A and B are shown apart, each in its own frame.
Chain A
């Protein structure tokens, strides 16, 4: 499997997915 960080789009998509995951954790677990 290719490293998503090797492409700019892969990096941006990974960042958006990470945002959604962290948001869900903050909203449902930490807040």
Chain B
């Protein structure tokens, strides 16, 4: 019995739920909440106490998800990423997850640091950072839809979609 794929799959799901759950929290809850809070000057509670904690778990969960996914692919890692025959479905899922990981660490996190005042930035830089982080986050919501379709490709997918 090989324990690595068992625990890699488990960890991949646990961390993935936290990552994508927080991504949906940001987009479906926090962004509209901040808009409403700005109107009555109560946004500080969210930006000071909630957002930094949510971002901490969000960014580290994204890395753990990717690493556990790579461990789960194991010897099929290269076949998946080169979209080899029979591995193209999960390979597309893996590529989408990789692009999303880059968006988290390369675009969302550096710009959120400016927005939340963890890094010095002028008002103009903050406004630019807000737009970039927003679009990167929305891009990840969009990409999560096909990513989850291809990641979840089990027997039902094979039977119905031939993947």
**Number of contacting residues on A, CB 8 A?**
17
A-binding segment of B9-17, B59-67, B81-89: B81-89
Residues in A whose Cβ lies below 8 Å from that of B28: 8
Among candidates B86, B143, B150, residue contacting A15 with C-beta atoms closer than 8 Å? B143
CA–CA, A6 and B139, complex, Å: 10
With A26-B89, A27-B161 as contacts: A18 and B146 at CB distance below 8 Å: yes
**Number of contacting residues on B, CB 8 A?**
22
Instruction: Tell me, rounded to whole Å, the shortest Cβ–Cβ distance linking A3 to chain B.
Output: 8
A-B contact count (CB 8 A): 55
Among candidates A5, A8, A12, A30, residue contacting B88 with C-beta atoms closer than 8 Å? A30
CA–CA, A15 and B100, complex, Å: 13
Q: Is the interface of A mostly helix, strand, loop or mixed?
A: helix
Residues in B whose Cβ lies below 8 Å from that of A19: 145-146, 149
Q: Is B121 part of the binding interface, using a Cβ–Cβ cutoff of 8 Å? A: no
With A8-B27, A23-B149, A31-B85 as contacts: A14 and B163 at CB distance below 8 Å: no
Residues in A whose Cβ lies below 8 Å from that of B88: 26, 30-31
| A31 engages B86 (CB within 8 Å) | yes
| A27 engages B163 (CB within 8 Å) | yes
| B92 engages A22 (CB within 8 Å) | yes
Q: Is B135 part of the binding interface, using a Cβ–Cβ cutoff of 8 Å? A: yes
| A15 engages B144 (CB within 8 Å) | yes
CA–CA, A3 and B139, complex, Å: 11
Interface residues of A (CB under 8 A from B): 3, 5-6, 8, 11-12, 14-16, 18-19, 22-23, 26-27, 30-31
Closest 5 pairs (CB-CB, A-B)? A15-B145, A30-B88, A5-B138, A19-B146, A15-B142
27 contacts between A and B (CB under 8 A): A3-B135, A5-B139, A8-B27, A11-B142, A12-B141, A12-B145, A14-B142, A15-B144, A15-B145, A16-B145, A18-B145, A18-B146, A19-B146, A22-B146, A22-B150, A23-B149, A23-B161, A23-B163, A26-B88, A26-B89, A26-B92, A26-B163, A27-B161, A30-B85, A31-B85, A31-B162, A31-B163
